């Protein structure tokens, strides 16, 4: 809690400097060490009292300033035991924490025709910050951002760098969820008796490919004979197809199932019914698998959402790290928060394995050279794909943003089986 507050104050102070630099002389100077709310009020007064030119500058420069309504788009239902539930709950908590109104929209398809009107409707209701949270909401989000310069659009998952021209009011963010997936891979590699892990995914996008590869890399640290079979449903949530895909993996001999799907329940229940182990994703669903639950990778977006929104409210978005491709993970050893939380460790994980997982977790935070970046990386060179093509040269350790680029041409590490793209 304290660190984000420090960050807000810093962001507000930075904004205050900008405003006082371009504002008129009679604007009150906000004190740097006041509390967040006071600073925000002072700043409000400043722009109220300032002349027209100053207000115009502020409006033109900073989207989402003094926002009271924030719109969230989800591709699925808010209680899917998965991606959307994690985002929904964090959005709700953020709204309570910052006292802003959240406009939720569930089941928004990832098309321009469907998603743009939903966002325009939120803007018509007064929202000045929009979070399109699904990967495929990116292009609709870009369209809305381009048409509404005073509205901030921050997209969860895609890279703004994939656009030809960046926008002042657009940002993207994500968290290196492949790191907890790597830890879960350790539990899976230790638990499997058939040396076969099953992975159900939706689409071969960078996040998914990183997760599949990290799962295998983690598993093989404790089990050199392990392989992961990955199959796609080409859908973020088609439960019947998930059931069929899970069954296929079980038939192939997989005795641990995991996934990168938005709704997670069917695969976990199918594994549990077959007496197989489950590794969850997005949300703690351990209650669905009392016997087979190993662990999972659970989002905890609240702090990040709150920091993004308060940065925007204070008018500091354009100057901030969020106005671009923001990525965080364990290896940002100085970061005030990560966007995930430890998952429940199931009874099927023995103490020895738990110790190995803890050890692996700790290694993320070792920073002997003191550069603020952990010395351990899940993906570091030399690393070849499963066809033997070198993807990372010896000594090459891409940061999180670069890593999405490394995976933009789909590939998987050795030990992963199954068709691709």
Q: Using the minimum distance from each CB to another protein, give the nearer residue, 161 or 273.
A: 273
Where do contacts with another protein occur on this chain (CB under 8 A)? 76-81, 85, 106-107, 204, 229, 231-232, 234-235, 237-245, 247-249, 251-252, 263, 265-266, 269-270, 273, 287-288, 417-421
Q: Using the minimum distance from each CB to another protein, give the nearer residue, 238 or 367.
A: 238
Q: Using the minimum distance from each CB to another protein, give the nearer residue, 74 or 337.
A: 74
Q: Using the minimum distance from each CB to another protein, give the nearer residue, 258 or 270.
A: 270
Q: Using the minimum distance from each CB to another protein, give the nearer residue, 309 or 412.
A: 412
Going by C-alpha positions, the residue among 345, 352, 223 that lies closest to residue 294 is 345
Q: Using the minimum distance from each CB to another protein, give the nearer residue, 154 or 212.
A: 212
Q: Using the minimum distance from each CB to another protein, give the nearer residue, 358 or 408.
A: 408
- C-alpha count within 13 angstroms, C-beta hemisphere, residue 271: 34
For every residue of the chain, which 3-state class applies, written as one string? CHHHHHHHHHHHHHHHHHHHHHCCCCCCCCCCCCCHHHHHHHHHHHHHHCCHHHHHHHHHHCCCCCCCEEEEECCCCCCCCCHHHHHHHHHHHHHHHHCCEEEEECCCCCCHHHHHHHHHHHHHCCCCEEEECCHHHHHHHHHHHHHCCCCEEEEECCCHHHCCCCCCCEEEEEECCHHHHHHHHHHHHHHCCCCEEEEEECCCCHHHHHHHHHHHHHHHHHCCCCEEEEEECCCCCCHHHHHHHHHHHHHCCCCEEEEECCCCHHHHHHHHHCCCEEECCECCCHHHCCCCEEECCEECCHHHHHHHHHHHHCCCCCCCCCCCEEEECCCECCCCCCCEECCCCCCCCCHHHHHHHHHHHHHCCCCCCCCCECCCCCCCCCEEECCCCEEECCCCCCCHHHHHHHCCCCCCECCEECCCC
Q: Which two tokens stand for residue 196?
A: 């076969």
CB of 313 to another protein, least distance (A): 30
CB of 201 to another protein, least distance (A): 9
Going by C-alpha positions, the residue among 173, 167, 166, 151 that lies closest to residue 65 is 151
CB of 105 to another protein, least distance (A): 13
CB of 44 to another protein, least distance (A): 38
CB of 390 to another protein, least distance (A): 20
Q: Using the minimum distance from each CB to another protein, give the nearer residue, 169 or 259.
A: 259
Instruction: With both helix axes pointing from N to C terminus, report the angle between 2-22 and 302-313 in degrees, rounded to the nearest 10.
Output: 20
Alpha-carbon span 391 to 382, nearest angstrom:
8
Q: Using the minimum distance from each CB to another protein, give the nearer residue, 321 or 417.
A: 417
CB of 107 to another protein, least distance (A): 6
CB of 213 to another protein, least distance (A): 15
- C-alpha count within 13 angstroms, C-beta hemisphere, residue 70: 31
CB of 382 to another protein, least distance (A): 24
CB of 237 to another protein, least distance (A): 6
CB of 239 to another protein, least distance (A): 4
Q: Using the minimum distance from each CB to another protein, give the nearer residue, 169 or 207.
A: 207
């Amino acid at each position: 809690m304290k660190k984000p507050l420090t960050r807000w104050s810093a962001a507000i102070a930075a904004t205050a400097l900008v405003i006082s630099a371009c504002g008129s002389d009679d604007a009150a100077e906000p004190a740097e060490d006041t509390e967040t709310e006071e600073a925000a009020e002072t700043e409000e007064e400043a722009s109220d009292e300032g002349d027209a030119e100053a207000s115009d500058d502020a409006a033109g420069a900073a989207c989402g300033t003094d926002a009271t309504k924030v719109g969230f788009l989800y591709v699925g239902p808010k209680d899917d035991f998965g991606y959307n539930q994690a985002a929904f709950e964090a959005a709700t908590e953020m709204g309570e924490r910052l006292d802003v109104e959240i406009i939720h929209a569930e089941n928004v398809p990832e098309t321009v025709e469907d998603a743009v009107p939903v966002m325009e409707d939120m803007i018509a209701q007064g929202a000045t910050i929009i979070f399109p949270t699904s990967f495929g909401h990116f292009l609709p989000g870009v369209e809305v951002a381009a048409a509404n310069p005073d509205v901030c659009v921050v997209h969860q998952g895609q890279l703004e760098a994939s656009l030809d021209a960046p926008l002042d009011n657009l940002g993207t963010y994500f968290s290196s969820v492949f790191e907890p997936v790597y830890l879960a891979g350790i539990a899976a590699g230790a638990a499997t008796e058939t040396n076969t892990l099953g992975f159900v995914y939706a689409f071969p996008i960078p996040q998914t490919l990183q997760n599949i590869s990290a799962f295998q890399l983690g598993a093989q640290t404790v089990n050199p004979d392990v392989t992961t079979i990955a199959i796609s449903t080409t859908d973020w949530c088609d439960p019947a197809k998930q059931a069929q895909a899970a069954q296929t993996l079980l038939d192939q001999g997989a005795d641990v199932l995991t996934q990168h799907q938005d709704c997670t329940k069917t695969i976990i229940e199918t594994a549990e019914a077959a007496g197989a182990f489950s590794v969850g994703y997005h949300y703690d669903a351990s209650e669905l698998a009392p016997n087979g639950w190993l662990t999972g990778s659970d989002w905890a977006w609240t702090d990040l959402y709150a920091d993004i929104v308060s940065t925007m409210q204070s008018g500091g978005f354009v100057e901030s790290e969020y106005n671009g491709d923001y990525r965080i993970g364990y290896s940002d050893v100085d970061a005030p928060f990560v966007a995930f939380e430890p998952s429940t460790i199931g009874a099927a994980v023995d103490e020895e394995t738990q110790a190995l997982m803890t050890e692996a977790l700790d290694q993320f935070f070792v920073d002997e050279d003191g550069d603020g970046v952990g010395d351990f990386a899940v993906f570091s060179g030399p690393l070849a794909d499963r066809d033997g093509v070198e993807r990372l040269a010896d000594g090459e350790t891409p940061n999180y943003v670069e890593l999405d680029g490394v995976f933009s041409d789909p590939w998987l590490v050795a030990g992963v089986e199954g068709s691709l793209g």
